[in-house]
Structures are given as C-alpha cells and as structure tokens.
A and B are shown apart, each in its own frame.
Chain A
Amino acid sequence: MDKLNFVRDGGRKLPPGFRFEPTEEEIVFQYLSRKTFSHPLPALVIPEIDVFSMDPWQLAGDSDSEEDMYFFSNAHGCDNESERVTPSGVWKANGSSKKIINSSKRMPIVGIKKSLVFYMRSSTKIVATNWIMHQYCIALPQQEQNNCLVRIGEWSLCRIFMKKGGRQVEDDDANSYSASSSSPNYDPTIFNENFEQGIGAVALRAYSSSSANKMTVRDAINSALDEEMSADPKVFMMGEEVGEYQGAYKITKGLLDKYGPQRVVDTPITEAGFTGIGVGAAYHGLRPVVEFMTFNFSMQAIDHIINSAAKSNYMSAGQISVPIVFRGPNGAASGVGAQHSQCYAAWFGSCPGLKVLAPYSAEDARGLLKAAIRDPDPVVFLENELLYGESFPVSAETLDSSFCVPIGKAKIEREGKDVTIVAYSKMVGFSLQAADILAKEGINAEVINLRSIRPLDRAAINASVRKTNRLVTVEEGFPQHGVGAEICATVVEDSFEYLDAPVQRIAGADVPTPYAANIERMAFPQACASSFPL
C-alpha cells in the first residue's frame, strides 16, 4: 500500500511520461483545496517548504532543471500587500490579484492568485530579477459582506520560475480583485495576531455557514471508499473497470493510484466468479467491496449474494460471518432499455441476512457507505446513476472521516402534517418536488427518505402515518411485491385505525422498460403538476 510520493529529498522526481503541468483551476481546486481541508492528495508531487526562507535559486536544490517549481508554503501575505523578505532580497507583489473560479461551480470557494517579482538586494538598492512567483490561496466569498473574499486555510501553493523571453507573466484585468487594505470591502480584523485562531475561526465559519460546502454523490462515495480503505487494510475493492479505468462512472477515481492493484482489483467480466471470490475472501476475514457495474448484472451472481453470503452466518450458527459490501447503480438510468433499468430493492430487501441500503443525498451516500463497510454483515448498497452528478450541501460533520449514518433509520427530509410520502433513492428528490407542488395547493406533505430498505424503519413510517393519517409510497421498481407493498402492509398491520384513506402506491409501470423517451417517461414516476395522459 505505497502512497504515490514523487517528492524525494525536497525535490520532485517524476516517473517517465509523467508531466506535471497543472492548470490554475487544478492548482486551486485539486491540490491546494485538498491540502487545506486535509483531504488525501491525488499524488504527492509538491513538497512543503517555507519559500521565503531561501532565495529562489536555492529552492531548486541540486536540480539543473529549468521547469517551474511548485511548493506548498504558508499563506502569509497572500491577502495583503506586505513584502516577503529572503536572505538576499525581497518578493514584491506585482499588480493586482486574480480570482480563480471553479468551472463546474461545485464548490463555493475560489482561488486567489498573486503575482510577485523577486528583487535582489545590492549594496544600496534592490534590483528586479527575472524570478517570478505565482502564489495561490483559497478564499470564501462572504455573501453578507458583498461577496468580499476571506482567505481560508494556512497553505498557499507557490509556482516559482525564471522569466524567459516571450513568457508572459499574467497580469490580467479581468476578474481582478484588489487585496489592498484600503478596499472598503476587506476586513483585516478577521486575521488577528493569533494566526491559527484566526484561521480556525474563518475555517469554522466556512464549514458551518448555510451556503456551506457542497459535494456530489460521486465525490461522497469516492471519499467514503478512500477513507475506509485508508483506515482498514483489510478493505479492498473489486469489480469491472474499478482500477485503471477509474470506475465505469468514475466513482473509484484515484483509488488505484493511491492503494495499488492488490487492493483495487480489476476483474474480468465474470460476475458469478468474482462475486464468489469476494464472498470467499470475506469468509476468510477480509472486507471486500464488490462493485456491480449495474445491479442488473448482479442477477448473474445472485446465488452468491443470497446463498453464500446472506445465509452463511445463520447456517453456521455464527461461525462464518461475511463482512462484504455489494455496491453499484440500481434502477433506471436514461434510455438504456429494459435489461439495464430494473430496480432490485424489493428482491434483496426480502432476504433475511442481508442489509439493503439506498442513499439519496451526498450525506446519505457517505454516511451509509462508511457504515456499510464497517458493518460485519453482508450489505447491498443501491446507488443511482442519475444521482452521481448531483450536488448536495454537506456539513462539517459529514466531511469528518468518522462520519457514519445509522443503518435502519429513515430520515424525515421535510416535515408535514397532511400526508406522508415515503420514498428512497432518486424518488426522494421527486417527492420533495411533489411536496413543493402540493404546498402551492395548500397541502403540507411530509417526505420520508427511507435510507434503509432492510432493516425497514417501520417505527418512523408508522409514527408519521399516525400524525398525517394518509400515506403515499413512491418507488421506481415494479409494483407487484415491491417495497411499497411491504410499507403498506406494515402500516395496515400497525396503524390501521389511523388511516383516513387507503394507502396509495406509486411505482414503475408493470412493463419491461421501453427505450423511446416518451414511453420511458411514462414507465417511471414523475413529479409534475398536471395530470398525466395515460
């Protein structure tokens, strides 16, 4: 399990073919932000040095290379106009700062880039040299203060190079933001002499503000896998294209580089074989995470999931436990046809010995996957392809590496009093949209995100129905013997007198999924105001 560390003796030693030429966006949002928030870096290419403790020509060390040098250094001076003194001279800011914005707008943070020129001290004066530094740091726009930028974190990323003829030192006017202390928008009192305290206060505010960090479900799953693999050497991943391809849906991106081929195992296209191998490895004490490219392919391996994994602890009276996670996208994508669109929640949810989870938001995905990997029983983790790219706000607690969401507990996404809508996975989003539409008609709906299909949170569902007296279940899967049927049965058994109306089930159509867009739309629940032509 070797970390990919390309820094040797303070210098950069890259393998043949590896070019380190990051764009400004990559500098800020891949390297510097990860360093700042203590997330694992994709590859350790950048050493840490106090760039102002040496003269620029000393920074290159023994290397004769004329390439740009990159260092992580402290962020002193990034936000003000002070000069940085070195043994033989001084770095002075050259012009105004430039704002770097994330093109996918995933994160609210922005980068600030400052350009500096090195002046050498000669007997009586200082002389400009050709040494240029670009210093990048991260800031958070403060909406309350007119979007002025507040720097966060104690790291800056410095690119240092010797200007050659023809190379432009960027000094653009577009997006320029003056960091001068004379600007009325900039509040220097945020940073006091007690540096860390100041940074801590800013960082805390950055996490806990209402426009806090956002995270896609894809990143949530990737970070959860990364953290759990880092914490426990017995955890390993297995599946088609999880390694070199970086994941069919890019969920496992970066994991092969970080953990190596022994722990991120690319398999041939043989579900029955590799699922059995995963279960056998779990018998012996490892903790596999087996990926199905979609759960439609799990049917080829379903004997191993049910008979070899789910039932083993019971049949052996506790001798053989199976701490395995089966994960992958479940349910319909878009236009992929009948064989690639089925939802398996009901099938797996009926099997004793399995735990079945269906996350909706990024917080769900992170917390439930971490809980699943730590759980000693076989867990089926049903993701959704169309949710992978969706962003959700995440709290600081969610980003912590010990964050887990309890298995078996539903979440009330929206409180209400007139009707309970129970859903899981993508349908939670649709239910929330539907609740907004209902609100315009004066109906206050309570939306419950199941999170866990097995164990089912019967208590939460019943408590909600006892409050609202009406129940609608929503799922993507086939209606007969579906999850909604079980929810209906449990409410009828436990809360019959509280129901003011029969339970309504909304499910996928009772047909194999068609391809043409118009009838495919008809095959799945949609959230809309007008009635649907059948």
Chain B
Amino acid sequence: MAMALTRRNLHLLCPIFSARLLTTASTSPITIETSLPFTAHNIDPPSRSVQTSPQELLSFFRDMALMRRMEIAADSLYKAKLIRGFCHLYDGQEAVAIGMEAAITRKDCIITAYRDHCLFLGRGGTLLEAFAELMGRKDGCSKGKGGSMHFYKKDGGFYGGHGIVGAQIPLGCGLAFAQKYSKDDNVSFMMYGDGAANQGQLFEALNMAALWDLPAILVCENNHYGMGTAEWRAAKSPAYFKRGDYVPGLKVDGMDALAVKQACKFAKEHALKNGPIILEMDTYRYHGHSMSDPGSTYRTRDEISGIRQERDPVERVRKLILAHDIATEKEMKDNEKEVRKEVDEAIAKAKEIPSPDPSELFTNVYVKGLGVEAFGADRKELRAVLP
C-alpha cells in the first residue's frame, strides 16, 4: 500500500484524518465502466472497463478537490490584486490532469500552455510554490520571475508553462525526440486547446513526429471555446481527434477521470510502439478564458451551470465513492474541509514570503554569463555583471 501511495502526490496527504482514510483504503481492484464510449479515428479504441481501486478513487477525489480549491482561491487572490497580469484557471478540467497522472510516471514529460497551475500540482509541485509564484514571491517555483503562465518542474517531468499559443506542441515533439534519441522508453504529452488546434506549427510538428516515429501524444483539451470564440466559429472541422489524418486519434470524455486514465494508458503504449497519437479530451472550463474575461458574454449561464450539474468531474468521483461504499458522506465532507484548510494555510504562508531581491533582476539571463555587463533602465545607476 505504501508503494502505491508514493506514486501519488504525497504532499497532498498532510491532514491526519483523511490521510488515515487513504492509508486504510483498500487497493483491491474495482472495474468501472466509463460513462461514454471512446470514439476512435484510424485505431481500435480501448475497452470502456477501467481498472481502479478504492484508494485510487479517494486520491482522485482528494487531488481534484485540492486543484478546484486552489483555482477558486486564485480567483479571490486575483480580485484582491495579489495576483497580477494574466491568470488562466483550470477549474472544470481537473479530470484531465488527474487521469493523466494516474496512467504515467514522472519520467514521462508533460508540456502545456498557460493554463498550467493544476498540471504543475499533478507533477509534484506544492501549493506553496504555486501560490508564491502567482503572487510574485521569491520562493515561487520560478522564484517569482515567471508568473502564472511560467510554472516549471523539470525534475517532475513538467516543462512548463508557455505563453505563446501553439508553441508547446513542437517543443513537446522535441521532448519526445530527445526521449527517443536517448532510448529511454518514455513518452511526452503535449497539451493544447481547441484554439491552438488550428496552429500551423502543430501540423509541422505532427508531420515530423509521424515521420520519425516519435513517442509523442498530443492532447487537445477541448473546452469548446478559444478565448471568446466558440469552436464552430474557429474551426471548419471541430473533430480535433481526426485532424491528424494519418495519425490515429481518440475522443475521450474529459470530465471522467477514469476515461482519461484509460485513454492515456492506451496512448502511452501506442506511442512507444507506433509513434504519435492524438487524444481529444471533451472538457469544460467554468471560468472565462482568464481572470479578465467574465466568461459569460459568449456562453449562457445555463450552459455553465448545466455542465456543473451533469458532468462535474469532482462530483462524479464523489458519487462513485459513495456508490461503492468506499467512504461515508460525512467523511467526504470532512475531506473537503481539510482541503480548504490546506489551501488556506498555503496562501497564508505564501503571503509571508518576501518579493525577490532586486539583484534577481539580472540573474539567470544566461547559464554562463561570461562576465558580461547588463544594464537596467538607468544605465549609470543600475548595472550588473552576469557571472
């Protein structure tokens, strides 16, 4: 049981009560059917029956609730002006991050665009690092120099955190190239949205990935809106999983963590043997594109609340847990309370962390600065030698 636990995010297991719940939960396998079948393009889809365990379901719930809470807290922090600039929130899409993590290892690589807070957490990042980075403090995961869009965790196989729409796809194929070059039997997942799915560089990179049989998995997190533009207004063919043409694709219910897990496991096996594959995750974001976007000018509130009612990923797992008698209602409520407490504590701690030292303006410009002089805005006053 301890071994299974180390595969999950240990940092999430702080409070005693639900930790006990998780440790005492059984690992005996349960088989659950995905709520929707997979739709396949140029490939035979995997089975709808997913192997899981009570412990896995509990950790899914815990992790997704944590991510949900973190994003909502970030919303408040942004409105309180403690987070500046851009803040793109992931709430509603948590199942994609969690299901993927359950199917892969930390040696596999993930790269995404700017909606990266939850993926960072999934790869082993801590709440403290995340909030400190969002608030621009020196102990953030990028020492306060990146911000919301530039979270990285290289030792966890997380390569960011990219602000330019679509750039992460060729970069992800480059990660896959390096994995194949080093013959290390791992894969790379590159995440992008329905907006980025129309980018030319995606097709350039996909062509090369297919030509060279790279272990690349392209994951389209289709939340149906590219900023304010609905998918039917941006794409002639919104069947993103078919866009690869000669590259096989799979359409997955992205609100079902178990379906995501099954698809990612399937994709990893495929990519290691046959090269690239596209996964389209049918998912939804409750917030607007970013904190500057209310999210209600291009979609109805009914739509948003409808999805929350019918397809919410956290609710689905909670229902599964209750249905299989893995925990009681009260235990689940306590679980959520602890998650809230954990997030609040992390925020409080992060608020105490100071801003980066002014000398950090000039650090990390180069790995090897060669003793070159760099100048600030006032060239006579503000200058530094890059080591």
Contacts and interface: CB of A to CB of B under 8 A. Distances in A.
Nearest to A353: B365
Given A303-B164, A315-B145, A283 B367 contact: no
A108 B178 CA distance: 43
Given A280-B177, A377-B367, A458 B170 contact: no
Interface residues of A, number: 48
Contact of A279 (B109, B174, B179): B174
Contacts of B181: 236, 262, 281, 286
A321 B159 CA distance: 11
A225 to B, nearest CB: 17
Contact of A307 (B163, B205, B207, B212): B163
A272 B206 CA distance: 12
B174 A283 contact: yes
A280 B368 contact: no
The interface centre, meaning the residue of A265, A272, A273, A320 with most chain B CB atoms within 10 A of its CB, is: A273
A303 B150 CA distance: 16
Interface in A259-309: 262, 265, 267-268, 270, 272-286, 303-304, 307-308
Contacts of A274: 170, 204, 208
Contacts of B144: 317
Nearest to B209: A277
Interface string B27-67: 00000000000000000000000000000000000000000
A307 B364 contact: no
Nearest to A455: B372
Given A284-B178, A353-B366, A268 B208 contact: yes
B112 interface: no
Given A308-B162, A352-B365, A280 B172 contact: yes
A358 interface: no
Interface string B356-387: 00000001111110111110000100000000
B14 to A, nearest CB: 25
A316 interface: yes
Nearest to A273: B204
Nearest to B374: A352
Measured as residues with beta carbon below 8 angstroms from the partner, the interface class of chain B is 35 or more
A408 interface: yes
A375 interface: yes
Contact of B211 (A268, A281, A285, A455): A268
B79 interface: no
Contacts of A312: 160
A352 B211 CA distance: 35
A411 to B, nearest CB: 16
Contacts of B203: 273
Nearest to B143: A317
A350 to B, nearest CB: 13
Contact of B175 (A281, A323, A376): A281
A247 B222 CA distance: 41
A214 to B, nearest CB: 31
Contacts of B294: none
A273 B370 contact: no
A321 B177 contact: no
A276 B205 contact: yes
B173 interface: yes
B152 interface: yes
B160 A273 contact: no
Interface string A249-265: 00000000000001001
Interface in B184-209: 200-201, 203-205, 207-208
A73 interface: no
Contacts of B374: 352
A41 B211 CA distance: 31
Contacts of B172: 280
A218 interface: no
Contact of A280 (B145, B146, B173): B173
A277 B208 contact: yes
A277 B177 contact: yes
A320 B168 CA distance: 14
Given A268-B207, A375-B368, A458 B373 contact: yes
A340 B51 CA distance: 58
A318 interface: yes
B260 to A, nearest CB: 24
Contact of A314 (B145, B171, B368, B379): B145
A320 B160 contact: yes
Contacts of B7: none
B3 to A, nearest CB: 28
A314 B372 contact: no
The interface centre, meaning the residue of A274, A316, A323, A408 with most chain B CB atoms within 10 A of its CB, is: A316
Contact of B170 (A304, A376, A377): A304
Contacts of B200: 272
A286 B145 contact: no
Contacts of A279: 170-171, 174
Contact of A281 (B167, B174, B364): B174
Contacts of A400: none
Given A274-B208, A277-B208, A284-B179, A318 B364 contact: yes
A353 to B, nearest CB: 6
A276 B372 contact: no
Contacts of A282: 174
Nearest to B154: A319
Contacts of B205: 273, 276-277
> What 5 pairs across the A-B complex have the smallest Cβ distances?
A280-B174, A276-B170, A273-B204, A284-B178, A270-B204
12 contacts: A268-B208, A270-B204, A278-B174, A281-B174, A303-B167, A304-B167, A307-B162, A315-B145, A316-B146, A320-B152, A408-B370, A408-B371
Interface of B: 109, 111, 142-146, 150, 152-154, 159-164, 167, 169-179, 181-182, 200-201, 203-205, 207-208, 211-212, 363-368, 370-374, 379
